[in-house]
Amino acid sequence: MFKKILIANRAEIAGRVVRACRKLGVHSIAVFSDADAHLPYVGAADESHYLGPSPASESYLNMRRLIDLAQRHGAEGIHPGYGFLAENAAFARMCEESGVKFIGPTSAAIDRLGDKRHAKEVATKAGVPVTPWFPCGPADVDLAARKAAEIGYPVIVKPAAGGGGKGMHRAANEAELRAALPRAGREAKASFGDDALLVEKFLVNPRHIEVQILADSHGTVLHLFERECSLQRRQQKLLEETPSVALTPPQRERICADAVRIAQTAGYVNAGTCEFLLDTQSGVHYFCEVNTRLQVEHPVTEMVTGIDIVEQQLRVASGERLAFKQGDVRQTGAAMEVRINSEDPFADFMPSLGYIEAFSPPEGEGIRVDAGYAAGDSVTPFYDSLMAKLIVHGQTRAEVIAKQVEALKHFMVVGVATTIPTHLAIMHDDGFLKGNFHIHYVESRVKDWLKLDREEDAAILGALMEYRRLLKTREAQSRAGELHFDPWSSSSLPRVR
């Protein structure tokens, strides 16, 4: 096992990796940009170092600097988290060449699978169906228009590198495709440093189902079952759960076996995820891509299988064999994760930035919160909007949903708007409760969900606090001169920082 590793990421996922390190007795090094200097993960790590200015291109994407820091401070490995350099083959290769272990697949595997174009070829070789597609550059609009006409609209434009929904645009006709290509190219370039794109046939109302893979360097490839990630908005996942209500036991067996076969064909090592689109009418699943990294939504799998995926990543990367077999991996109960993003659902999900006045996550049996921020931190415009993940585990899906409602109501964030109201609405949606949804379901329903219907309560509570303040002021005035301890007032409490 490693003695010391560097975590080339930030916020909640950096904190998550720190916890895995602690569990294994591995010394953790956090790195931070100007904007992140005070976030909780920096203090949680055993050691922390300044990386660079706030823009990601000058900090979390600065490959040379990350490797220098790792070498200078004696880190034997680098955990990339997700996003940033997690699926960057050039970075993995730089790590390999500098003798710092990249905690993830080999650069060759990232090249083969991280690039969606090659991944489709691997899947075809493994005998897994893929959706019709073609590669193209952001400027190849005429070529794209001709080929898209062949495979038929609607189509979706995706960056060939990277994931996470960035730079993905749907086009229903040629005009939309022509508009989408340059925009997708710019976003791909900004997020992943590569503007290569691919255009793919867009299935109507499929479900997004993915399979977690764990593979060691001794030839063992296991799956940790599926995650249902169909609830998305603008190709960004909002909520993930396992098991998926859409799969029958034989379908589950087939999709998981296909994922294992793709990983085997690619010679994959470490944790990865095979994403599929399930055509609910035919019951056929089509391979989309492999995410050659830890996923944001990995905790739901951990909750039902009891396997710590980050721990396994560290074990596999240090050369250990997986200590369990496929037959030992079971789904127990159900788990659901909701993403608490700093976005205002009442203003078309605009990023909500600024100072976090209060941050109080729920606690309880079967409730897990992976948070990147705390009260007193600021959400800055430089990175993605994920503040925290709320994960709930229970015996059944119905129990999980009931627990989510209570947990969401007690998740208090003040100062920055969040997606909590969206999730509360989802938990009461009939289609969601029955399990009848697909990847466009959120967009079709979101307008009906979001209602600010507690205006009168808000008015009463606002006025109540104002009234109480007035009474306190009057009381203070009448007692002027007296030394007096007021437990209501935060200023009379000692400040501990």
- Residue 188 main-chain phi, psi, to 5 deg: -65, -45
Which residue in 252, 293, 339, 397 is the catalytic one? 293
Nearest-CA neighbor of 310 among 295, 324, 329, 291? 295
Pairing of strands 378-379, 354-355: antiparallel
Would you call 93 a catalytic residue per the annotation? no
Binding flag, residue 460, another protein (CB under 8 A): yes
Q: Which is nearer to another protein, 150 or 456 (CB)?
A: 456
Q: Which one of 3-11, 116-124, 317-325, 377-385 is the stretch in contact with another protein (CB under 8 A)?
A: 377-385
Give the contact letters, 2-41, x = binds to another protein (CB under 8 A), - = no.
Answer: ----------------------------------------
Judged by CB under 8 A, the residue of 263, 418, 432, 442 near another protein is 418
Q: Which is nearer to another protein, 421 or 435 (CB)?
A: 421
Q: Which is nearer to another protein, 365 or 466 (CB)?
A: 466
Binding flag, residue 190, another protein (CB under 8 A): yes
Contacts by 357-361, CB closer than 8 A, 24 or more apart: 357/414, 357/415, 358/412, 358/413, 358/414, 358/415, 359/412, 359/413, 359/414, 360/410, 360/411, 360/412, 360/413, 361/388, 361/390, 361/411
Binding flag, residue 175, another protein (CB under 8 A): no
Provide the minimum distance between the beta carbon of 376 and another protein in the complex, in angstroms, as a whole number.
10
Binding flag, residue 464, another protein (CB under 8 A): yes
Provide the minimum distance between the beta carbon of 239 and another protein in the complex, in angstroms, as a whole number.
14
Q: Which one of 207-215, 365-373, 395-403, 468-476 is the stretch in contact with another protein (CB under 8 A)?
A: 468-476
Binding flag, residue 139, another protein (CB under 8 A): no
Judged by CB under 8 A, the residue of 454, 472, 479, 484 near another protein is 454
Binding flag, residue 462, another protein (CB under 8 A): yes
In whole angstroms, give the CA distance from residue 161 to residue 194. 7
Provide the minimum distance between the beta carbon of 346 and another protein in the complex, in angstroms, as a whole number.
7
Judged by CB under 8 A, the residue of 458, 472, 473, 484 near another protein is 458
Q: Which is nearer to another protein, 204 or 414 (CB)?
A: 414
Give the contact letters, 213-252, x = binds to another protein (CB under 8 A), - = no.
Answer: ----------------------------------------
Q: Which is nearer to another protein, 230 or 236 (CB)?
A: 236
Binding flag, residue 364, another protein (CB under 8 A): no
Contact between 212 and 309 under an 8 Å Cβ cutoff? The reply is yes
Judged by CB under 8 A, the residue of 408, 426, 427, 439 near another protein is 408
Binding flag, residue 362, another protein (CB under 8 A): no
Binding flag, residue 412, another protein (CB under 8 A): yes
Q: Which is nearer to another protein, 74 or 354 (CB)?
A: 354
| Exposure class string for 109-118: b at 16+ Cβ within 10 A, else e | bbbbbbbbeb
Q: How many chain residues interact with another protein (CB under 8 A)?
A: 59
Binding flag, residue 452, another protein (CB under 8 A): yes
Binding flag, residue 476, another protein (CB under 8 A): no
Q: Which is nearer to another protein, 411 or 432 (CB)?
A: 411
Binding flag, residue 328, another protein (CB under 8 A): no
Q: Which 339-358 residues touch another protein, going by CB under 8 A?
A: 344-348, 350-353, 357-358
Q: Which is nearer to another protein, 267 or 362 (CB)?
A: 362
Query: At a CB cut-off of 8 Å and minimum separation 6, what does 453 contact?
Result: none
Residues forming contacts to another protein in the complex (CB under 8 A) are 166, 183, 186-187, 190-191, 344-348, 350-353, 357-358, 360, 375, 381-385, 408-415, 417-418, 420-421, 423-424, 452, 454-470, 487-488, 490
The residues carrying an active-site annotation are 293
